[in-house]
Amino acid sequence: MAKRAKKDTWVEIYKIVLEKGERAPQVPNDTQQVPLEMKVKGFLVQDAAVGKEAEIITPAGRRIKGRLLEINPAYTHMFGRPIPELSPIAGEIRAILRERRNAS
Amino acid sequence: MSTDSYKAIMDQKAEIMRSSVGINYEKYTTGVLSFDYEAMLNDTGYDLDATRDIQGRSAVGDTPLVELKNLTELVRAVSEPGKGARLFVKDEAANPSGSFKDRRASLSAFEAKKKGYKGIAAATSGNYGAAVASQAAKAGLGCIIVQEAFDSKKIAQPEIAEKTRACEAYGAEVVRLSVGPELFYYFLIILKETGYFNASLYTPYSILGIETLGYELAMQVKAREGRFPDVVVATHAGGGNVTGTTRGLIKAGAADTLMVAASVDLSGLHMASDRDFNRKSFTTGHTGFSVPFSTWPDRVDVPRNAARSLRYMDRFVTVTQGEVFYMTEALAVIEGMERGPAGNTSLAAAFAIAREMDREQIIIVQETEYTGAGKHPLGQLNLAKQMGIDVRRGDPRENQPGKAIVIPEHPSQIKPVEMDLDRIRRSYLRNALDSLPEGEKATEKDLEFLAADTKSTQDYVRDVVNELIRTRFLGGKV
């Protein structure tokens, strides 16, 4: 059974703003082939199930309807692993400065 | 047709814009193409003193000017004897939301509050969103930020994901859209629905807010060194940074300081392409904005763009993605300043330009921005690798946007590429010619305006336009 969320829970909803046939004429081909999609977060107006129609009130006070995507969605952007192509730069630059200071 | 269809909303654009910005742009028309730029800015009532006062009350501005002594030494290590100018940076990350964009947002928030708007909205995926959200929070206004945030595979651009988080942290509603310029269409729907103030990046408020940056840095250098800087380098995208900073320099009396605009080269990538979206590795400060905005500033969400960069730049250079990541690393490891990658575009350019200058000269990088998860070389380069982009060390000339990010092996390899300003001016004038309504002829006023707008002369404008008309006639296009 789909997960349900209570009224007033912080959630994210999803909807399609423009279907692929409705895209602006100046949009390049690859973008024409996909819809314009939207995600917005807010507090649920009524209890709702994930994947079903839901209504939210956003922090700006707007009411928006869409498909309930996620309950209390996480921020998942991160630093990730160090980049091996960047890691040696510190040592290289310090060596250039050291050499210059030793020479003078 | 539904009342919210693409066409129906775009047809109401002028009306929605007028009520959401509160400026009667038509009033400033002086010719067929020309308008009174200075009057449009002056009529806001915000002169430099008023702006400084408003910004001071919301903790914006008065940021430190930091001399980058170790980077200067690195410049000199790769310069001819007697060369290698002193490098300084204006640490704009010290603003409340972490970038110079707070200056741009401050007057919009003040104006919106004064005029009784309930909130402010902005269509922006970058630092400006956080700035508007932060200023709205302080002013007690509602705030909606509309972002272009993810591609059709639902992969979010990491830097924009960080801006989503920041805007939400300041209590704003964040509307995240997939790739496409119709973001503007949805933005209009929001303005129409909410009656919010449009904190556009291109209104007079947004530009006047940046004048303080140029003014402050000129006065800081003057107080410390007894003279104005020789060169200021500004990261260039939509043109506001270059425009506002130079206007501020001029107001401080530093009219002889050279303004260099610097952008990351993203040539070959399409700005509205779903496929290219996550292959850019930069969300701003790149040629995808700076070239079209320099050659035709009025392609924006307001009828008359107050950001007119070609009026103010003395030189325009591009740097590669790999060079900017290299300099971001250098700034952290020898200056102890970890700052976001996009703002370091001007630093990469300044590093190379300083090599051409004399030791006694002073070159200023006029901004930094905060850094954080996603908004960082690690986040960007990890995504680039995931998207199949070849990240390697080597000669930065081999950098290919969307295909290869080449990190320099040595600081001496950092060399900006000159943009031909003559070509940019010609391209601007071609666009001006194209925008002449059928049957209309340009007037003397237009000529005067086009010369000022391209930082050239009326003779130059006349020659180029005549040449363009001749070429078209011969090509059978007229």
Q: Does B162 map to a domain? A: no
Between chains, do A22 and B6 touch, taking CB under 8 Å as contact? yes
Q: Does A51 map to a domain? A: yes
Q: Are residues B273 and B324 in the same domain?
A: yes
Q: Are residues B87 and B222 in the same domain?
A: yes
Count how many pairs of residues, chain A against chain B, have C-beta atoms within 8 Å. Answer: 157
Residue pLDDT tens, chain B, 478 long: 468 889 899 999 989 998 999 999 999 999 999 999 999 999 999 999 999 999 999 999 999 999 999 999 999 999 999 999 999 999 999 999 999 999 999 999 999 999 999 999 999 999 999 999 999 999 999 999 999 999 999 999 999 999 999 999 999 999 999 999 999 999 999 999 999 999 999 999 999 999 999 999 999 999 999 999 999 999 999 999 999 999 999 999 999 999 999 999 999 999 999 999 999 999 999 999 999 999 999 988 888 999 999 999 999 999 999 999 999 999 999 999 999 888 899 999 999 999 999 999 999 999 999 999 999 999 999 999 999 999 999 999 999 999 999 999 999 999 999 999 999 999 999 999 999 988 888 899 999 999 999 999 999 999 999 999 888 766 544 3
The three-state (H, E, C) secondary structure of chain B, written as one string: CCCCCHHHHHHCHHHHHHHHHCCCHHHHECCCCCECHHHHHHCCCCCHHHHHHHHHHCCCCCCCEEECHHHHHHHHHCCCCCECCEEEEECHHHCCCCCCHHHHHHHHHHHHHHCCCCEEEEECCCHHHHHHHHHHHHHCCEEEEEEEEECCCCCECHHHHHHHHHHHHCCCEEEEEECCCCHHHHHHHHHHHHCCEECCCCCHHHHHHHHHHHHHHHHHHHHHHCCCCCEEEEECCCCHHHHHHHHHHHHHCCCCCEEEEEEECCCCCCCCCCCCHHHCCCCCCEHHHHHHHHHCCCCCCCCCCCCCHHHCCCEEEEECHHHHHHHHHHHHHHHCCCCCCHHHHHHHHHHHHHHHCECCCEEEECCCCCCECCECHHHHHHHHHHCCCEEEEECHHHCECCCEEEEECCHHHCCCEECCHHHHHHHHHHHHHHCCCCCCCCCHHHHHHHHHHCCCCHHHHHHHHHHHHHHHHHHCCC
CATH assignment at residue B321:
3.40.50.1100
Q: Does B73 map to a domain? A: yes
Q: Does A86 map to a domain? A: no
How many domains does the structure of chain B reveal?
2
**Residue-range definition of the domain harbouring residue B302:** 54-95+210-418
Q: Are residues B303 and B446 in the same domain?
A: no
Q: Does B382 map to a domain? A: yes
Q: Does B49 map to a domain? A: no
pTM above 0.95, yes or no: yes
Q: Does A95 map to a domain? A: no
Q: Are residues B273 and B344 in the same domain?
A: yes
- B positions 156-175 inside 8 Å of A (CB): 156, 158, 161-162, 164-165, 168, 171-175
Last residue of one domain, picked from the residues B400, B418, B436: B418
Q: Are residues B456 and B386 in the same domain?
A: no
Q: Are residues B449 and B393 in the same domain?
A: no
A43 CA: distance to closest CA in chain B (Å) = 11
How many domains does the structure of chain A reveal?
1
Q: Does B36 map to a domain? A: no
CATH assignment at residue A50:
2.30.30
Q: Are residues B387 and B445 in the same domain?
A: no
Q: Does B438 map to a domain? A: yes
**Residue-range definition of the domain harbouring residue A60:** 4-77
Residue A83: list chain B partners with CB under 8 A: 377-378, 381-382, 391
Q: Does B289 map to a domain? A: yes
Q: Does B145 map to a domain? A: no
Q: Does A30 map to a domain? A: yes
